[in-house]
Amino acid sequence: MPIPRFLKGRAAREEAVSIGDPRLEGWETVSVLEDQKTAVAWRDQLRALGVDASCVADHPLDRGGRGDIYLVVAPEQWSRANEILENLE
C-alpha cells in the first residue's frame, strides 16, 4: 500500500524551548535569556553559522514566553559559539 503524499517528508517538530530533554544533558551554556523570541533568534543565528545550538529551560515558560532560557551548545563547540556571540553583540 503506497504512503499518502501528505505524510511523506513529515519530520517531528522541534520544540522552541526544550524542558528536560536528556539529549541536551552535558551541553554548555553560552547565554541566559529571559524571553523565547530572543532566545530562539540567537539559537538560529548560531545554527546558521554551523553551531549545534538549542534553547532549554528548567521550568515551563509563562504565557508570554518568558522565563530563564539557557542557550546551550555541544561541549566541543562552546569556544566557537562564545566567539560568535561576542562578535554579534
d(CA 8, CA 17): 26
User: What pLDDT, in 10s, does the model give residues 15-70?
Assistant: 899 998 999 999 999 999 999 999 999 999 999 999 999 999 999 999 999 999 99
Q: Could you tell me the residue ranges of all domains in the chain?
A: 15-88
* pTM reported for the whole predicted model: 0.81
d(CA 43, CA 48): 9
In the structure, what pLDDT confidence band is assigned to residue 13 with cuts at 50, 70 and 90? confident
Say which CATH topology domain 15-88 has. Answer: Alpha-Beta Plaits (3.30.70)
